[in-house]
Amino acid sequence: MSAIAQTLEKKLQEWPPATAQKVEQQVSELIVQADAESANGGLKSKTAEERSRDPLFADTAVWHGPAPKDSSVNHDKYLYGDDA
């Protein structure tokens, strides 16, 4: 038995019945969800449309002005000053 299973078994005995019942229900739901994802080949990949709405991928702002060549090394200095 895994450590998490042992801990869960122990905690279910210690917790008040209402708490134990709630946790059992939540764990059961997680198991059903994991089984469904496993049966479907894992997590669903996002479609191109979903990715285009993702703020990380939708951001098209790019700086085209001058920038120091050592900005990756000294980014703290440029962002926060010499005392950083």
Closest CA to 30 of 48, 4, 62: 4
Predicted confidence band of residue 4 (pLDDT cuts 50, 70, 90): very high
pLDDT per residue as tens digits for the range 10-49:
999 999 999 999 999 999 999 998 888 787 766 567 787 8
Whole-prediction pTM = 0.47
The percentage of residues in the chain with a pLDDT greater than 90, rounded to a whole number, is 43
Output the CA–CA distances (angstroms, integers) from residue 23 to 11, 20, 33, in the order listed: 10, 5, 15
Task: Return the number of other C-beta atoms located less than 10 Å from residue 23's C-beta.
Answer: 14
What local confidence, expressed as pLDDT, does residue 23 receive?
Answer: 95
